[in-house]
Amino acid sequence: MRQGWNTRPLACGLALAVMVAASPGAAAAAAARPTAGAGRAALREADEAAVRALAARLVEAWNGADSRGLADVFAEDGDLIAGDGKLTSGRAAIEAYFARLLETMPKGTRFRLTVTNVRPVAPGVALLSSSGGFLLPGDEDVTPDRRGLQVLVAVQDAGAWKAALLQRTRILPPPAAAPAR
């Protein structure tokens, strides 16, 4: 970890920015925000590939039931906000969280993720958005009750990209149709 560098305030601030971005009126504000080439530097191709690789490593580790591999994606002081809203802080605690979760899920549960966007936020900071969810053994597609959106805040530390924050938000399935009268 970079001496004197604590990603927690950055991750919390970016999480707040993500929540604000999802608020009403955010689309108008986003339209006014500079884009790459209009005042904000684009993420270098190699950096974007490295950030995308974090998501791929998460999926690979989950699908291999590897809690240490899942935790290794995170910065030492990284944060995880699970789909149920539980906050887990620190790589060791994140590894323990994933170990417990993997024990409770049916053996052979897989995770499928589709990266929807990767963009720079500041020098050495990128935001990856994705959709996906859990596939229980025998599932071919993610069912509506297991779908979610993931946001990963990646920080560059000593040349390596790590997750400062990963937040999964469940997408609630549509309500059942009311019976016809």
> Architecture of domain 8-15+48-170 in CATH?
Roll (3.10)
Domain boundaries, the chain: 8-15+48-170
User: Average pLDDT over the chain, rounded to whole?
Assistant: 83
pLDDT for the residue 34: 40
| Tens digits of residue pLDDT in 42-77 | 889 999 999 999 999 999 999 999 999 999 999 999
Q: What is the average pLDDT across 154-177? A: 91
> Which residues sit opposite 143 in a β-bridge?
none
Residue 137 falls in which region: left (phi positive, over 0), alpha (psi -120 to 50) or beta: beta
pTM: 0.75
Any residues with CB less than 8 A from the CB of 170 and at least 6 apart, and which? 83, 84, 147, 148
Which is more confident, 13 or 114? Answer: 114
| Tens digits of residue pLDDT in 25-46 | 433 334 334 444 444 568 899 9
Q: What SS3 class is residue 43? A: coil
State residue 113 phi and psi, 5-degree precision. Answer: -140, 140
